[in-house]
């Protein structure tokens, strides 16, 4: 910090949520921002946002215009890719019966849809199986594989799963069925004996592409396969960049880092979505009543949850069918079904979250509580445990697992983590130590299957392995602010300018802006989730609409709801453009607030 610069942004040492506010840019980054602006012509605010995310001066122009063509490496850098591409090309040319086995989330559905669309271009009709979350659980299983083989499957391709499926893969091979695995989940130790296993996170892979979603890995595999087919004399191959919309959807919804090739996939994919090429995405946007062009927020919080709803409480195959269909009528029917399932999922989730929060508050009491929350209930639907874990993580600022128990004493659970704490590795270690029946995941999310008797041991394991990392992560109790602005500054042009540094999300955080000394002119509670919406006004008479999601029962929500209209507050949040009846308006999504008069809370 410079000598004349306050230690805290706007002097907020402790906000209503107990956090301090800090300038995202230290002195070095401020110098970098000035250099970026001078050398590229970028506005001051855009330059600050770039510098605040570690973009070097010489990288700035390329960062603002990422392209798949420039950033995609040779697919052969991925271990086993050449073998996989050769085998897939052989199956295509020989018109073999191919079966796909995908995960039941958006990444799995997108990956399956990618493969279906590609194979359909060659006249093939692959079988596709998405397991039932409750009755089959995650990953390939022997019963489903037997059924696919009985339907004529000669080549099985697992998508967004399979890396830890030793027994199912061995069984398929023993029955004369070849197996290809395309995955991105963490892997350690011995791998299944598939014909080829492409996973940038396998121990012997040096591609440095571990940040890709499974759909990103699948697209690279299709690029490699097309190259093999082209070398064998094939022509009229599919336009693979036209599939970027599916990769963008998976990348956003699987919360993988928006860096490198991922940013290019999302940028290109959203452009394709605006053209309406994928009937499934277009019809689901219509069913969800989205106004205006699709953006990353829509994908992560509107489209994604509806696709996931099929795998959570309905037919797990709906998402893959929606994203791969070429029939507008079918797309409209599936989209309407998913929209209804999502409404039902929301009702189930609210009840489960209320119970989970009550149990967690009792467990934590007046102290620090455990480093990791591991809660279980026989009342929870297995399809919503990931959402329950996410809400617990947000509410209590620590990793959390929610486990749905069945009558037979088995349980399926999902975990969500906080930045800097890798729960995927902890779950892998639990599998190796036989503390759970099976499990897997990545740094921020994981899934497990275990017995009721194993819960205590699993809880002890997580708290022992992750206590130090959680403590270190939770010490970072501050909000990083990119800049202070006013309601008048927050125009549509202003938002569109800094959005050039997007897409924003994991690994490329959404800019956080502070409004200093603005007054709450209106506030109320909306929606089933208890969102607080309000209007904030500056002294100069400008105003901006704002919303704090799921905040009604939080300190932030209560401050907004009860603040006198003449008392100024400091607030901070992110900015987005709302499209309504053909008009563009700016809305702020609030994440914190502070009273300028008070020194602590």
239-277 tens-digit pLDDT = 999 999 999 999 999 989 999 999 999 999 999 999 999
What pLDDT shows up at residue 502?
93
The CATH 2.40.50.460 portion of the chain extends over: 9-24+482-594
pLDDT tens profile 217-238: 999 999 999 999 999 999 999 9
Cα separation, 322 vs 326, in Å, equals 9
Give me the torsion for CA of 514, 516, 519, 523, rounded to 10°: 10
3-state secondary structure 287-337: HCCCCCCCCHHHHHHHHHHHHHHHHHHCCCCHHHHHHHCCCHHHHHHHHHH
pLDDT value for 481: 96
Count Cα atoms within 13 angstroms, Cβ side, for 184: 29
CATH 3.90.1640.30 range(s) for the chain read 70-264
Q: Return the closest-CA partner of residue 268 out of 553, 90, 471, 66.
A: 66
Residue 165: name the closest of 220, 116, 101 by CA.
101
Phi and psi (nearest 5°) for 191? -105, 160
Q: Coil, helix or strand for 368? A: coil
pLDDT above 90 coverage of the chain, percent: 87
The CATH number fitting domain 9-24+482-594, selected from 2.40.50.460, 3.30.70.20, 2.60.40.420, 2.102.10.10: 2.40.50.460
For residues 288 and 297, give the distance between their C-alpha atoms in angstroms, rounded to a whole number: 13
* pLDDT greater than 80 at residue 597: no
Distance from C-alpha of 203 to C-alpha of 328, rounded to nearest angstrom: 43
- What CATH code is assigned to 368-474? 3.10.310.30
Give the pLDDT band of residue 212 (cuts 50, 70, 90): very high
Q: Identify the pLDDT of residue 133.
A: 84
CB atoms within 10 A of CB 379: 10
Mean pLDDT, range 103-120, rounded to an integer: 97
pLDDT band at 527, cuts 50/70/90? Answer: confident
Q: Say what angle helices 328-364 and 385-396 make with each other, to 10 degrees.
A: 50
Give me 533's structure tokens. 């919406």
Whether residue 190 contacts residue 200, with contact meaning beta carbons closer than 8 Å, is answered with no
pLDDT at 62: 93
**What per-residue confidence (pLDDT) applies to 601?**
43
Report residue 1's pLDDT band, with 50, 70 and 90 as the boundaries.
very low
**Cβ neighbourhood burial of 412 (10 Å; 0-12, 13-18, 19+):** buried
Pull the structure tokens for residue 100: 């796909």
What are the tokens at 569? 């507050």
DSSP helix/strand/coil, 376: strand
Taking the C-alpha atoms of residue 2 and residue 13, their distance in angstroms, rounded to an integer, is: 17
Contact 552, 534 (CB under 8 A): no
Digit-coded pLDDT (tens) for 538-588: 998 999 999 999 999 899 999 999 988 788 999 999 999 988 777 899 999
pLDDT at position 5, please?
A: 45
What's the pLDDT tens digit per position in 168-179? 999 999 999 999
DSSP-based three-state secondary structure for 577: strand
Per-residue pLDDT at 426: 95
Residue ranges of the chain assigned to CATH 3.10.310.30: 368-474
Tokens of 107: 């990444």
Could you tell me which residues come within 8 angstroms of residue 46 by beta carbon, excluding any fewer than 6 positions away? 37, 497, 498, 500, 501
Selecting from 3.30.300.30, 3.90.850.10, 1.10.3720.10, 3.90.1640.30, what CATH number does the domain 70-264 have? 3.90.1640.30
CA angle 16, 18, 19 (to 5 degrees): 105
Q: Is the pLDDT of residue 205 over 60?
A: yes
Residues of the chain above pLDDT 70, percent: 98
Q: Rounded to a whole number, what is the distance in angstroms from the first to the last CA of the chain? A: 25
For the stretch 3-33, pLDDT in tens is 344 579 999 999 998 899 999 999 999 999 9
Give residue-wise pLDDT tens across range 540-550.
899 999 999 99
pLDDT of residue 2: 42
* One-character DSSP codes across 24-66: S--HHHHHHHHHHHHHH---HHHHHHHHHTT--GGGHHHHHS-
Give the pLDDT score at 423: 94
The CA dihedral of 257, 259, 261, 267, to the nearest 10 degrees, is: 90
Query: How high is the pLDDT of residue 598?
Result: 65
Mean pLDDT, range 522-539, rounded to an integer: 93
Question: Could you give phi then psi for residue 63, rounded to 5 degrees?
Answer: -65, -35
Q: Which residues of 474-503 are buried (b: 16+ CB within 10 A; e: fewer)?
A: beeebbbbbbbbbbebbbeebbeebbebbb
366 by Cβ neighbours in 10 Å (0-12 / 13-18 / 19+) ranks as exposed
List, for residues 351-376, the tens digit of each pLDDT value: 999 999 999 999 998 788 999 999 99
């Amino acid at each position: 910090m410079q000598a004349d610069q306050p230690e805290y942004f706007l002097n907020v040492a402790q906000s209503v949520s107990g956090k301090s506010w800090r300038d995202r840019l230290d002195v070095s980054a401020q110098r970098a921002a000035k250099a970026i602006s001078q050398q590229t012509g970028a506005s001051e605010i855009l330059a600050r946002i770039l510098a605040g995310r570690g973009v070097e001066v010489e990288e700035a122009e390329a960062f603002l215009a990422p392209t798949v063509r420039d950033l995609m490496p040779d697919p052969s850098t991925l271990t086993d890719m050449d073998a996989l591409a050769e085998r897939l090309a052989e199956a295509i040319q020989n018109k073999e019966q191919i079966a796909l086995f995908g995960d039941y989330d958006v990444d799995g559905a997108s990956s399956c849809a990618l493969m279906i669309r590609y194979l359909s271009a060659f006249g093939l009709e692959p079988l596709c199986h998405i397991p039932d979350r409750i009755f089959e659980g995650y990953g390939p299983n022997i019963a489903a594989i037997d059924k696919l083989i009985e339907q004529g499957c000669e080549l099985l391709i697992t998508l967004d799963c399979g890396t830890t499926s030793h027994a199912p893969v061995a069984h398929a091979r023993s029955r004369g069925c070849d197996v290809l695995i395309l995955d991105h989940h963490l892997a350690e130790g011995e791998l299944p004996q598939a014909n080829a296993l492409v996973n940038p996170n396998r121990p012997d892979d040096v591609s440095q592409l571990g940040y890709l979603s499974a759909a990103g890995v699948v697209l690279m595999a299709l690029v490699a396969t097309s190259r093999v087919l082209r070398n064998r004399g094939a022509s009229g191959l599919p336009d693979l960049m036209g599939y970027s919309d599916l990769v963008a959807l998976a990348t956003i919804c699987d919360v993988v880092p928006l860096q490198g090739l991922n940013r290019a996939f999302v940028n290109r994919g959203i452009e394709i979505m605006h053209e309406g090429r994928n009937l499934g995405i277009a019809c689901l946007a219509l069913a969800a009543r989205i106004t205006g062009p699709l953006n990353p927020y829509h994908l992560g919080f509107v489209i994604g949850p509806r696709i996931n709803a099929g795998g959570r409480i309905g037919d797990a195959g709906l998402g893959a069918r929606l994203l791969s269909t070429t029939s507008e009528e079918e797309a409209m029917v599936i989209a309407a079904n998913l929209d209804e399932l999502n409404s039902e999922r929301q009702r189930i989730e609210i009840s489960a979250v209320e119970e989970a929060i009550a149990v967690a508050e009792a467990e934590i009491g007046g102290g620090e509580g455990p480093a990791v929350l591991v809660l279980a209930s026989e009342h929870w639907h297995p399809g919503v445990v990931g959402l329950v874990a996410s809400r617990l993580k947000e509410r209590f600022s620590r990793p959390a697992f929610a486990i749905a128990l069945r009558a037979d004493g088995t349980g399926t659970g999902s975990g969500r983590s906080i930045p800097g704490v890798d729960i995927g590795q902890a779950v892998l270690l639990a599998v190796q130590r036989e503390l759970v029946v099976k499990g897997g995941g990545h740094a921020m999310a994981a899934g497990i299957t275990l017995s009721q008797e194993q819960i205590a041991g699993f809880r002890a394991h997580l708290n022992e392995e992750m206590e130090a990392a959680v403590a270190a992560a939770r010490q970072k109790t501050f909000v990083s602010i990119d800049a202070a602005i006013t309601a008048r500054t927050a125009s549509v042009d202003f938002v569109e300018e800094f959005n050039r540094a997007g897409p924003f999300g994991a690994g490329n955080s959404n800019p956080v802006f502070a409004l200093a000394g603005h007054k709450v002119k209106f506030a109320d509670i909306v929606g089933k989730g208890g969102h607080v919406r309000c209007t904030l006004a500056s002294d100069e008479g400008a105003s901006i609409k704002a919303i704090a999601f799921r905040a009604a029962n939080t300190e932030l929500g209560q401050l907004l709801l009860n603040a006198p209209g003449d008392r100024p507050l400091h607030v901070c949040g992110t900015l987005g453009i709302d499209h309504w009846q053909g008009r563009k308006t700016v809305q702020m999504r609030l994440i914190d607030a502070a009273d300028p008069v008070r020194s602590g809370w």
